[in-house]
Structures are given as C-alpha cells and as structure tokens.
Amino acid sequence: MGGRVIASARPARSRAHLGLVAWVALACVGFAVAPAPPDPPAMDADEIAAIQRSLDRLVADTRAWQRERGDFDRPWHDAEGHLAIVIDDVGRELHLFEQLLALRYHLTFSVLPGAVFAPGVQLRLRADRRRYREIMLHLPMEPLDESMMHAGADAQEEFLRVEDAPDELTGKLERALARVPAAIGVNNHMGSRLSAERGAMDALMPVLAARGLFFVDSRTSAATQAEAAAVAAGVPSMPRRVFLDDDPSPAAIEAQLVAAARSARERPTVAIGHPSPALVDVLRRRLPELHAAGVTIYPVSELLAHEGALAGSAASGTAHRE
C-alpha cells in the first residue's frame, strides 16, 4: 500500500512543477513585451529655480538655527581639553532641569529610576533630535549611612543593598533599567558601601555588558570596586574625577569647574554635578569661556570611544562619601 501512495503522489508533484515553470515563463514574457516606462516630466527653468530657492532657504534657516540655538561643538582633535559633565539626580524636579537642558553644551543627564518625573524628562530629552543629550541610569546603591536611603525623595528609590543575593541585585538593576529605558550607561547614586563589595559589583556588570551599556564609577568610596569589576566584565568604564558641587556654594562650584577644565587638558575627564540654581548659574557663565579657551564638553560615550574605554586607568579624584 505504501508503494501505491508514493507512486500516486509523483504525478501530482510533477504537475505542480510544470505549472510553476509555465507561470514563470509567462511572467518573463510579460515583462519582455511590457512597454517601457514613460520619461519623467521635464522641468522648465522656472521650476528648477524655484526648487533651488527652496533649498537655499532651507540651508540658510539651518545655519541660522545652529548659529542662534545649536550646540557649541568642536571636533575631538581640535579641542585642547575634553570634558564630560554628568548631571545627577535628574527627574526630581523640572525647572532646573529645563535650564540645564537649555544650555548649548553636550551635558549628560543621569536619571533616578524612582523619581516622579523620570518618564517625562526622558521624553523631553529625546524631543529635539537636533540637540542630542545622552541619558544614563542613576542607580541607587547602599551608602555607609543607611539613614540616607530613607530620607526625603530617596525613600522612593529601590536601593541595591549589600545583603541582597546576586539574583536580587540583578533583579533590582533590571527593574531600574526598565524605568529608564533610554539609558545608554549607568552610574551609582550614593553607594559608598555597596560599591566597595567586589562580589556585588561582579554580579551587576554582566547585565550591563549584555546590554552594551557603559559604567561611570561615581567614586563615592575610596575603596570602590566598581571600575575593576567593569573591566573584568568587559564593560566600558571610567571614573568620575571631579565633583562640581560637593560644596554647593557658587564660589566652590566655580573653583571645581576650573579644576575639571584643568584636568580635561591633561586627559579626558568626567565631572559630576547636581541640579541647583548655583550650578546653573556657574555653568551658564563659565562654559562659554571654557569653550572659547578650547575646553569642549562631550557626551560620556565620546570620551570612552576616543580613549578606548579608559577602564583600568589609574583612578584619581577624591572619594565623595554617599
């Protein structure tokens, strides 16, 4: 019986094959005898001139926008200093955020996952494609002073803690990343206790590696193991070298910005600040001067790209305990 079924199936397959060949042949004949497409309509001189005028206006408008509202930028090899400024604690308020966003420099914004305005600021940062700003996740980590995790707005955050098992740490990291989906990198919020635990850092870094994210070690502890763990996991990483507002007074912020610019002339430098009227005022006044002197503000990813991921370089900068 099996032989009869196979034998009867062969003519059916043969007929299907012949039908397909015939269809292809007919299609080829149809393409061969089809008339050629008509020539595109010719444009007269007036139409060509009108198109050229439109293009000229577009170019002029673009150049005017760049001159009046575009970012101050400079090719990497033309800069005398390379500085990234990360704004931490983004998403807790909007007024200062908008003022920082309005600055015509490539600031990097690190968003707290539990902040009330976290979704909105990410949409705002992506709203104008002509003024690209990098977004990072500001990942809450346990500080030495546990009371800081329960004070004010920080009580809304899910902190990664030393007592967490590895799967708990990675679960918290995944949830934080889900709240800041626009992030292309991560830095630690507080973390003077957790970042000193190599095992905890080793548990977290493979998650970043799998997602292609970079890591900036905020260096809230002199004993930090975060950058070393990032290097081991193949995560592009570099340390924060200057805190702009550890002392939040305007004079101190200005002095720290000068120090950051000096460091940036020697090597690519990451500085960190937090939204405040004093920081906005200092950046608004001093960044044009720094740019004119050759110190250029770049996104963090550009520093990493040009320096071949500075992970493993000798970290300097005073630890800021949080």
C-alpha–C-alpha distance, residues 100 and 84, integer Å: 14
CA dist 54 and 228 (Å) reads: 55
**Per-residue pLDDT averaged across 50-74, rounded?**
74
- Tell me what pLDDT residue 309 has: 43
- 225-239 mean pLDDT: 97
- The whole-angstrom separation of Cα 160 and Cα 195 is 10
pTM (global) more than 0.95: no
What secondary structure does DSSP assign to 143-176, as a single string? -SSGGGGGSGGGGGS--B-TTS-HHHHHHHHHHH
Q: CATH number for the domain including 238?
A: 3.20.20.370
The whole-number pLDDT of residue 66 equals 60
The residue with greater pLDDT, 243 or 55, is 243
Contacts of 33 (CB under 8 A, 6+ apart): none
Q: Give the Å distances, CA to CA, from 33 to 25, 26, 38, 40, 153.
A: 13, 11, 15, 21, 75
The reported pLDDT for the residue numbered 260 is: 99
Examine residue 38 and state whether it is found in any structural domain, yes or no: no
Instruction: Say whether pLDDT at 235 is over 90.
Output: yes
Residue 89 is encoded by which pair of tokens? 């604690």
Residue 298 lies in a domain: yes
pLDDT value of residue 14: 66
Contact 118/91 with Cβ under 8 angstroms? yes
Average pLDDT of the chain?
A: 89
Q: Is residue 173 in a domain?
A: yes
Calpha distance 228→202 (Å, rounded): 9
Higher-scoring residue by pLDDT: 49, 81 = 81
Range 38-59 average pLDDT: 77
What per-residue confidence (pLDDT) applies to 53?
A: 83
Residue 44 lies inside a defined structural domain of this protein: no
Residue 65, in any domain of the structure: no
- pLDDT given at position 316: 46
Q: Which helix H or strand E contains 103, and what residues bound it?
A: none
Sole residue written with tokens 């340390």: 239
Residue range(s) defining the domain that contains residue 244: 73-306
Mean pLDDT within 9-17: 61
Residue 68 has what pLDDT?
63
pLDDT of residue 122: 97
Overall number of domains in the chain: 1
Q: Determine, yes or no, domain membership for 9.
A: no
Instruction: With a cut of 90, say whether residue 183 has pLDDT above it.
Output: yes
Nearest-CA neighbor of 184 among 210, 214, 204, 209? 214
Mean pLDDT of the 219-241 span = 97
Residue 132, in any domain of the structure: yes
Answer yes or no: is 47 within a domain: no
- Cα–Cα distance measured from residue 16 to residue 29, given in angstroms and rounded to the nearest whole number: 20
pLDDT at 312 over 50: no
